[in-house]
Structure formats: structure tokens, C-alpha cells
Amino acid sequence: MKEHAPMTMKDIAREFGISVATVSRALKDSPRISEERRKAIQAYAREHNFYPNAIGEALRHSRVMPQRVIGVIVPEFTHYYFSSILTGIEEAAAARGYRIMVALSGEQYEREVRICESFHRSKVCGVIVSQAKDTKDYTHYQKLIDAGIPMVFYDRICTGVNASRVVVDDYMGAYNAVTHLIETGCKRIAYYGGPVQLEISKNRFNGYKDALLKHGMRVDDAIIGICDNRADAESITPKLMALDNPPDGFFAVNDDTAIGILYTVKHAGYRVPEDIGICGFTNGQRAVACDPMLTTVEQRGHRVGEEAAEILMDKVEGISPLDKVEKRIVRTRLIIRGTTK
């Protein structure tokens, strides 16, 4: 076993020169294994921080269990998209007799690691997660997978581990939004995106870039920025509008950022959409609470949550193989409102 790699039953079996089945029986305290060997295997497992997932294993062999708990990691609660996904997960889980245990990472890698360790100790039957923005080391995810705990990523997927995932069509959502801005007369479109290491950020930027290139427009780094919240949008936008050749259109990674742009340009005296077109990405409740109402890409978070929960529960119950990686894409839809012509 590699140094620092997560412990698995296979590793324990290799250490003792026995089968994985024998390890499993010893960890369950089966009388079929001698007491001496049981204690030796159990002690070795404890020393190497290995905890068998008893609930998950039992659920894969039985539809009836007194406790069915799915661990869910949410980056933040205030974002409408994540709350809608959580609702979808909870409703789908409840319909099949599961409960959910929700934990907030707060966009912090260290907190995310502690949550995974807690879920492992709590013996959840599976985990549904959207990774924190600054997560670059995926050992904590792999440890759960190696322990036989099924995992499904949503929204911000982790390309560093081979796990199932449910995402929206970020590329086409961005491509269609920017195409709409171009077709309604925008000649110079700024892009506000998320951290570059996130897969969704790459996909949305590629959609933005390809829409520009398709229409013979240049990609200009001067109007491309890492900005994914309202406060930063209100800070950065005046600088872009002060350029000799300012943008006349904005595509933002989420609605809050787009609303920050809207607030800033209106207070600077620009008319929306006559002078500047703006498009967001979410279609949350705030999109219809601003003036004018926001043109945005609908992400269908509730459906994303339902799909993620269904994949996970099928794996827990043995309907789908644990090692089968499912990749589902939920289609987006452009909702045209008052911030574009």
C-alpha cells in the first residue's frame, strides 16, 4: 500500500495473506474466525484508521433497515441553487425511506475533510457532495470510495476521483447566453467567472469563448475576471466601465454576480438593456426581484438533486454496481427577461 493511501479491506487482506471475505468476517466479529485472528485483524484496522461501513453494506443486501442515512455536503446555504438541489435530494431520499445528514463546508477544504471523516465514522450509507472552491487534494474523497461508501458529485465535480456525477450543461448554457447577448446587439461582452480549477468554471468559460469566436469576436483578457459574488462585481465593474473601450454586455457565472453588475451600471447612469445587456446563471428568486428582471440561464437545481439521490440510492441498494460511474447532464434553459433586448 502506498504511503498515506486510504486503508481498504484488500490492504488488510494482503497484510495477513487472507481473503477479503475473511477480513470482512473478522471485522464483524464472526465466530467462524478464530478469536486470536479476529483480534489481530481488528487491532490492525484500528491502528490504520479503517472503519467498515456496516450500514452501507447491509443496505446493499436488504431493502429494509431501521436507519438509512445519506451524507450531503453543501458549499453554502445562502445560494438559491444549492438550496434547490438540497430540496431535490431530500424529497427523492424521503420517497425511498432515507434520511439525509447535511453538512456545510463553507467553501473550506479543511472543513470538508473533517466532514468526510465524520461521515465515515457515522457510517452513512453514501455521500452526495459539491466540492469547496479551494479543494485541490482529493484524498478525503478517495478514502470514502475505497471504504466502499458510494459517492455522487453534483455541480462542482471532482475530476481527481472516478465517481458518479450530476451536472447541468454548463457549456451550452453559457454558449446560448452569450449568443443571445451578441444577437441582441452587444459588441463587447465581459465575462465574470469562478475559480479556474473548477470544472464548471472551465466549461462556462469555454462556452463564452466559443460563442464569441463563432461570431467573429475577439476574446479580450481585459474584460475577463474571476468574480462570483455581488460584492466583487460591485468592486470590479466600475474599473471595466472606465476602460477606453468598455463592455456593452456582461455574462456572469451566477445571478448574484449579475445583479451586482446591474446595480453598479445603473447607479453609474447607464440604461439596461439599452446601453448594456446583462445575463446571469441560476434563475433563482432574486432574478425576478430586481429592476429590470434578470435574463439568466435556468439550472434546474431540484432536478440535479433528484438525479444525484437516485444514483446514490441505486448503488446502496445494489440496483446499480458500486464501481459503475454514471455521468448525467441536466439541460439548461435560457430565460429572457428585461436585462437584455
Residue 245's Cβ-count burial label (10 Å; 0-12, 13-18, 19+) is exposed
Residue 61 has pLDDT above 70, yes or no: no
Element (H, E) at 166: strand 164-168
Which neighbouring-strand residues pair with 226? 193
User: Could you tell me how far CA 275 lies from the centroid of its own chain?
Assistant: 35
| Of residues 134 and 36, more confidently modeled | 36
| Of residues 256 and 78, more confidently modeled | 256
Residue 95 has pLDDT above 80, yes or no: yes
3-state class (DSSP) for residue 47: helix
Output the pTM of the full model. Answer: 0.76
Residue 212 has pLDDT above 70, yes or no: yes
Q: How many CA atoms lie within 13 A of 123 on its CB side?
A: 12
pLDDT at 93: 94
Q: What distance in Å separates the CA atoms of residue 27 and residue 9, rounded to the nearest whole number? A: 10
Residue 62 has pLDDT above 70, yes or no: no
Contact between residue 260 and residue 190 where contact means Cβ atoms under 8 Å apart: no
pLDDT at 6: 58
Q: What distance in Å separates the CA atoms of residue 153 and residue 311, rounded to the nearest whole number? A: 10
* Size of the chain in residues: 341
Q: What distance in Å separates the CA atoms of residue 188 and residue 283, rounded to the nearest whole number? A: 24
Q: What distance in Å separates the CA atoms of residue 145 and residue 285, rounded to the nearest whole number? A: 36
| pLDDT tens, residue by residue, 154-185 | 998 888 899 999 999 999 999 999 999 999 99
Q: Which amino acid is at 77?
A: F
* Residue in this structure with the C-alpha cell 454514471, named with its chain if needed: 326
pLDDT at 258: 98
Contact between residue 329 and residue 153 where contact means Cβ atoms under 8 Å apart: no
Q: What is the DSSP letter of 218?
A: -
* Residue in this structure with the C-alpha cell 469555454, named with its chain if needed: 206
Q: Taking residues 123-149, report their average pLDDT.
A: 92
| pLDDT tens, residue by residue, 264-279 | 999 999 999 999 999 9
pLDDT mean across residues, the chain: 90
| pLDDT tens, residue by residue, 215-233 | 999 999 999 999 999 999 9
Please tell me the least confidently modeled range out of 49-58, 66-75, 78-87, 277-286.
49-58
Q: What is the DSSP letter of 77?
A: S
52: preceding bond cis by omega (within 30 degrees):
no
**Among 11-20, 21-30, 98-107, 155-164, the range of highest mean pLDDT:** 98-107
The cell for 53 is 461501513
